[in-house]
Structure 1
């Protein structure tokens, strides 16, 4: 997929405390945004997308909260694309594609994320912050 994320017409940003309640809030916000954008919750991409989102926010809560008291979720969509990012201020950049192939033994939930992303024909990317102290994991899925 070569969608330019900046050109997607629908966008919503949500910042939450990096605590367990963030997972549910991020998922519920995604559902509300999708409905507002005219993407039905029964679309075959939606359930896997919500699972991926939940796993990424869970990872931030479990692994990054010590250095990142908040997490930011960016939601975006267009006619043929759904994208979202989960941002935290922890410097570690997980090896996404290593998790998919089993090369990263500690992949756990990221392996599931990558299996879903790849099975849907999507992409995943870790974008580091300019100061090197944080990152966003971007997921893009076709609709």
Structure 2
């Protein structure tokens, strides 16, 4: 039995070419997965920003229906992150935040998915906009 063990073929390891081939295939797979994940992340951020803008537009329309005009745009006096509380500019408005806080979910923040503040700009009597 000992003689057979000595005549057994030696275990063969991986050659350098085989290792490089495996590393190349693995790196291609990692690059593909990473690219797909980044695309999915950007698409999710875009969808969240669109949903936020729809919420803000709905809240502004509710404000208009209640007070007959849109609020003034954000400024240094009323920081953008305080957009939800910036409703005291119109006559008849008691200055409460409830107009927007009832219209928007409590989890809503005034920052877009990229960390920038939403900007509400009122260009005139009939032109309003929300920017990010």
Which band: TM-score by shorter chain?
0.3 to 0.5
- Larger helix percent: 2
User: Highest Rg: 1 or 2?
Assistant: 2
Name the TM-score, length of structure 2 as normaliser. Answer: 0.38
Question: TM-score, normalised to structure 1's length?
Answer: 0.36
More strand by share: 1
